[in-house]
Amino acid sequence: MRRVCANFDEESLAIIEKYQAKYKGSTANLLRLALRCLKICEEAQEKASLEKIMTYIDYLAKMEHLLIDIADGKAIFSEIGEGSEKFWDEIYNIGEEHLEEYQDKGLRTVKQMLEYVEKTNWYKLSVDSENSFTLILSVSEASKFVKTFFEGLFDNYPKKVEIIEEFKKIRVRVP
């Protein structure tokens, strides 16, 4: 072990005191834990940006979302096929409910919402212009699902949003 001395500002000291009380350990043990966490975050950022990691945490921490393999998704959507009217109504309604949730998160523009949902890996977002976007689907069988979700999401959006389903992609336009 080697002794290291450091000076901290008031904000940093408050953070140290908060977590020292929570973890009931010495300052040295807390700082060791913090350094291990920083190392993990840095290594994770080599695979995904911090913004993307924070979105994953947001999606998963409340246990409101599932992670599934793309092959599983393909199998599910192949099995659903045309689906029932009730199923598609539910997907639409789920989209509608998400508008308020996304706005509560500070997402205001169509682009911000599309970027946020992109992190689910349903699609890769291509920004064609300020008001035109292409969603390149990871699973082409999910096309109707993604389209229906966004139709519901943008139904009560302050501006008109067009959702156009094409082969293996969906176009989103704000005319």
Question: Which alpha helices (DSSP H) does the chain contain, by range?
Answer: 10-23, 27-45, 50-61, 70-80, 85-104, 110-118, 143-155
Task: Clarify whether residues 87 and 153 are in a common domain.
Answer: yes
Looking at the fold, whether 54 and 24 belong to one and the same domain comes out as: no
* Amino acid present at 3: R
Per-residue pLDDT of the chain (175 residues; tens, 9 = 90+): 888 888 999 999 999 989 988 888 888 888 998 889 888 888 877 787 888 888 888 888 878 777 788 888 888 888 888 889 999 999 999 999 999 999 999 999 999 999 999 988 899 999 999 999 999 999 888 999 999 999 999 999 999 999 999 989 999 999 9
pTM score of the predicted model: 0.72
Are 81 and 150 in the same domain?
yes
Q: What pLDDT, on a 0 to 100 scale, did the predictor assign at position 38?
A: 85
Q: Which domain holds residue 24?
A: 10-45
Please tell me the predicted confidence (pLDDT) of residue 22: 87
Q: What is the total count of domains within the chain?
A: 2
Is 2 a domain residue? no
